[in-house]
Amino acid sequence: MRLVQPTLLIALLAILPLWLSAQTSSCGKVIINADQGKDTISRHIYGHFSEHLGRCIYGGFYVGEDNTQIPHKDGIRTDVIEALKELKPPNLRWPGGCFADTYHWKDGIGPKAGRPSIVNTWWGGVTEDNSFGTHDFLNMCELLGAEPYLSANVGSGAVQEVADWIQYVNHGGISPMADLRRENGREKPWKVKYWGVGNEAWGCGGHMTAEYYANVYRQYATFMSDWTNTGGLFRIASGASSSDYNWTEVLMRDIPHRMLDGLALHHYSVIDWNAKGSATQFDEQQYFTIMERALKMEELVQKHSTIMDKYDPKKKIALVVDEWGGWYDVEPGTNPGFLYQQNTMRDAMIAATTLNIFNNHSGRVRMANLAQTVNVLQAVILTDEEKMILTPTYHVMKMYNVHQDALLLPVDLQNCDYALGKEKLPALSVSASKDNGGVVHVSIANIDSRETRTVSVELRGMPVTAVEGQILRSGKLQDHNSFEQPDKVLPSVFRQFKRSGNTIELDLPPFSVVVLAVKG
């Protein structure tokens, strides 16, 4: 055997660090083709979800008409509405979730004093007095400028009940339900387009098999008529939980496509359903695990889409991710059935990466709903009596609203690794779009908990004349806004970039998210 010459060995050792750095520096390159793109990023990807759960509706959105402490319009909190409007919420889902399959809408109309009470069996066993009902919700959507997305009761309801609800909210002519609506003070129909046919039919919505639910769906959808003023109802089937691909397969196969506009998918980022961990006190391994769960959305969207492509190659049916977000233990001392949790920079990373995934798959993902808007799970707003704070997730949703209804641009990304022990995740997440005014927006997240990443973004197919940006970052992953310190985590102007011709080189601090606006 011939031994390597010592001088050659020394020379090799000397160039090894250079070679290694050359290897690592090739990551973090982004090429955006600004003159290409075919799919529009539906604004409905940026939807929200409000359930009769904990303090989402009562205390969060609605404080009652007689409240003298908190400013409101017809019982709806003015501060919450004004804050949400900044996000440009395209749609709002209601009344659940699991609650939807226990909800009888006629309990929530008419004089409030005469409304029956029910017990909210899914969420804390509290008494629901039905003081917030159909009129309150639909009027609130008008205040927000959001389209309502009503989730109909299939699990414990009846076909006639849903048919009546549609007639009540949508029929402009003379009919029993439209007349009842007028008696209750509303002349014009609300024109509700988006309808969920049950929720989690495989679980809290009735523990059905996919085959059984497909038949039930067909029956309900038959009687969910369009009252000619909505431009056609958009009917959404209760979809799979995470990687239940069989559910998607069966529904795509067994439901006639003329009856189906959207197929739902629910996926939560959770460490372990029996040991979820604190929302604010977590270590790096827990952060890494949550990010691994959140990034799984890429695979889920791809695989569910592949099944849908097989049956629906023209992509007529939308994949509707109508529940997503991080799920942790409730805040200490709060009702375990209320799902009230804080929201940190970790949640900002979930939001930024998930929204990039949805943007990048906007050919098929055309609607999604973050769970949930106020005081529940990955909320954008938290309230405590008259106080209100905006979470890091709120700031991401606001920074990203520039993508709504913009043209998705193809992105070529050479990613970097975020390594923890032997495990690795892609450190960077990117999406880009061009708005009606020709401005290109690029959203980039660096989920690495320790490394600043230098990223070069090259725009092809357009001149670059000006760049500006915003960044959301903070000193610690666990940082969050509290009622004592409401502005700890806030976006700021982003300056850590240089432009040379069409290439922008930026430094992305650990666990940060940047949105650039590039003008041609």
Nearer to ligand AHR, 288 or 340 (CB): 340
Q: How many Cβ atoms are within 10 Å of 128's Cβ, its own excluded?
A: 23
Rounded CA-CA distance 175/181 in Å is 10
- Is 323 an active-site residue? yes
Rounded CA-CA distance 435/399 in Å is 14
Cβ-closest position to ligand AHR? 97
Q: Binding pattern to ligand AHR, positions 298-337, x when CB under 6 A?
A: -------------------------x--------------
Total residues at interface with ligand AHR (CB under 6 A): 10
For residue 49, the minimal CB distance to ligand AHR (Å) is 7
Residue 347 in contact with ligand AHR, rule: CB under 6 A: no
Residue closest to 398 by CA, chosen among 9, 48, 31, 57: 48
Q: Is the dihedral of CA 267, 270, 273, 276 positive or negative?
A: negative
For residue 491, the minimal CB distance to ligand AHR (Å) is 27
Among positions 200, 261, 347, 479, the unique one binding ligand AHR when judged by CB under 6 A:
200
For residue 217, the minimal CB distance to ligand AHR (Å) is 17
| Helix (H) or strand (E) segment spanning residue 92 | strand 91-94
Rounded CA-CA distance 448/455 in Å is 13
Residue closest to 205 by CA, chosen among 237, 233, 169, 250: 237
Which of 323, 331, 386, 468 is catalytic? The answer is 323
Nearer to ligand AHR, 362 or 375 (CB): 375
Binding residues for ligand AHR restricted to 358-377, rule: CB under 6 A: 371-372, 377
Binding residues for ligand AHR restricted to 420-439, rule: CB under 6 A: none
Rounded (5°) CA angle 80-84-86: 130
Nearer to ligand AHR, 176 or 336 (CB): 336
For residue 327, the minimal CB distance to ligand AHR (Å) is 8
For residue 52, the minimal CB distance to ligand AHR (Å) is 9
Rounded CA-CA distance 207/410 in Å is 40
Contacts of 180 (CB under 8 A, 6+ apart): 109, 168
Residue 199 in contact with ligand AHR, rule: CB under 6 A: yes
Residue closest to 431 by CA, chosen among 501, 515, 306, 345: 515
Q: How many Cβ atoms are within 10 Å of 302's Cβ, its own excluded?
A: 12
Rounded CA-CA distance 74/71 in Å is 10
Query: b/e string for 423-438 if b means 16 or more Cβ within 10 A?
Result: eebbbbbbbbbbbeee
Q: How many Cβ atoms are within 10 Å of 456's Cβ, its own excluded?
A: 17
For residue 490, the minimal CB distance to ligand AHR (Å) is 27
Q: Binding pattern to ligand AHR, positions 204-233, x when CB under 6 A?
A: ------------------------------
Residue 279 in contact with ligand AHR, rule: CB under 6 A: no
Which of 51, 128, 147, 200 is catalytic? The answer is 200
Among positions 39, 51, 164, 347, the unique one binding ligand AHR when judged by CB under 6 A:
51
Residue 443 in contact with ligand AHR, rule: CB under 6 A: no
Q: How many Cβ atoms are within 10 Å of 419's Cβ, its own excluded?
A: 14
- Is 484 an active-site residue? no
Q: Binding pattern to ligand AHR, positions 68-107, x when CB under 6 A?
A: ----------------------------xxx---------
Query: Residues in the site for ligand AHR, rule: CB under 6 A?
Result: 51, 96-98, 199-200, 323, 371-372, 377
Catalytically active residues are 200, 323
